[in-house]
Amino acid sequence: MLIALIITLLTGFFNGVLVMATRLPSFIITLGSLFIFRGLAVAIPRLMTNRTQLGGFEDYDSGGWAAAFATKIELGGARFDIAIIWWIVIAAIATVVLLKTHIGNWTFGTGGDANAARNVGVPVAKLKIALFMVTALAAFTVALIQATQLNSADSPAWHPQGVRGHHRSGGRRNPPDRWLRVGARAGVRRTDLRHGAAGHHHHRR
């Protein structure tokens, strides 16, 4: 886990440095990182075990470190994942940092106008790199919770191009993909209607 955490933070740092150095959109940089690490996540297990499924994680029932991420808690007679507690704690910390500290003021200022924030002394570059590292840490936390809850991991299961595919189980089409297509068609239709209305108005004139 410690090695994965270090790699995560280094990846966030690397992404932040690339964004600040190249001025490319962060989406392009992070998407490239996604494909790189997804390829490694597929290639390395196949080379070592000839498969992409990894199992045998530490049993969280034994009270190991995974117990902090995968146990169940009792609330009002019902059982919930401990991930709910993690969400509450992280959300509370983020709220305090953003609303009660100068780092939060720097973050809002940089998001509003980076040049203005830089002119008043905000270390914009360092702040953005740190935010990339925090975002990577958040992704690490979610992945850790899911892996410990399932006690396994399968890298091809999280395909970033799911908009073109189907779920492996049952061959059913992914519902979000369907709504993406519906939204795209509606947007094209709306654009066509606007152009048609504009052309009709111009013809009347």
φ/ψ (deg, to 5) at 42: -85, -45
More confident residue, 94 or 205: 94
> Is the whole-model pTM more than 0.75?
no
Distance separating alpha carbons of residues 123 and 114, to the nearest angstrom = 10
More confident residue, 172 or 91: 91
Show the 3-state SS of 13-80.
Answer: HHHHHHHHHHCCCHHHHHHHHHHHHHHHHHHHHHHHHCCCEEECCCCHHHCCCCHHHHCEEEECCEEE
Give residue for tokens 């704690």. 89
Distance separating alpha carbons of residues 144 and 137, to the nearest angstrom = 10
Mean pLDDT of 142-166: 64
Identify the weakest region by mean pLDDT among 44-48, 71-75, 89-93, 199-203. Answer: 199-203
In the prediction, which pLDDT does 130 show? 95
14: nearest Cα among 4, 29, 36, 35: 29
Distance separating alpha carbons of residues 129 and 38, to the nearest angstrom = 22
In the prediction, which pLDDT does 148 show? 78
Mean pLDDT of 135-153: 83
Q: Does residue 159 have a pLDDT over 60?
A: no
In the prediction, which pLDDT does 22 show? 92
More confident residue, 158 or 111: 111
In the prediction, which pLDDT does 11 show? 93
Beta-carbon contacts of residue 95 (< 8 Å; ≥ 6 apart): none
Mean pLDDT of 131-146: 89
pLDDT tens sequence across 22-81: 989 999 999 999 889 888 888 888 888 787 776 666 554 455 666 677 777 777 778 888
Amino acid letter, residue 52: T
